[in-house]
């Protein structure tokens, strides 16, 4: 069931609300940026994400094909979400689960996690090793 969660960066300059059905699953990826950030992600539609802080608090990082905007707080450096644009025109937001603030620890521990092999651009297959993700 969808629920509205609040989230943001460490210092509070970046704030958002996201309407998410966490029971549908979360993702951990082994691509270069996700593995360095130890990112735990959940995808939401653009209509289900609302930035409630001033966009001027954000700086943006892109790499590779530049299909993903990785905004981060200019003050504390935390990346709490990303905006994805696929080549087919599909757009969505990826929220960092650990940046959601109104989720109980027990709920977090019970969330389903799908592991994807982003390192090899194979998002339908789990990598051989996942314990470190």
Domain ranges of the chain: 3-120
Radius of gyration of the chain (CA): 14
Task: Please tell me the distance from the alpha carbon of residue 104 to that of residue 107, in angstroms, as a whole number.
Answer: 5
Q: Does domain 3-120 have CATH number 2.170.150.70?
A: yes
**Is this structure's pTM higher than 0.95?**
no
Q: How many CB atoms lie within 10 A of CB 107?
A: 13
> What pLDDT does 10 receive?
97
pLDDT in tens, 87-129: 898 999 999 999 999 999 999 999 999 999 989 988 888 888 8
- Confidence check: pLDDT of 48 > 90: yes
Task: Please tell me the distance from the alpha carbon of residue 39 to that of residue 36, in angstroms, as a whole number.
Answer: 8
């Amino acid at each position: 069931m969808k629920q509205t969660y609040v989230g943001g960066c460490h210092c509070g300059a970046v704030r958002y609300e996201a309407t998410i059905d966490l029971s549908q699953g979360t993702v951990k990826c082994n691509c270069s940026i996700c593995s360095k950030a130890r990112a735990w992600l959940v995808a939401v539609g653009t209509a289900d994400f609302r930035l409630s802080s001033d966009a001027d608090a954000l700086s943006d990082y892109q790499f590779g094909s530049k299909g993903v905007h990785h905004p981060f707080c200019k003050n504390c450096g935390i990346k709490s979400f990303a905006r994805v644009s696929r080549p087919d025109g599909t757009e969505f937001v990826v929220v960092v689960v650990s940046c959601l603030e109104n989720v109980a620890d027990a709920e977090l521990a019970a969330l389903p996690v799908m592991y994807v092999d982003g390192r090899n651009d194979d998002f339908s297959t789990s990598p051989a090793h996942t314990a470190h993700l």
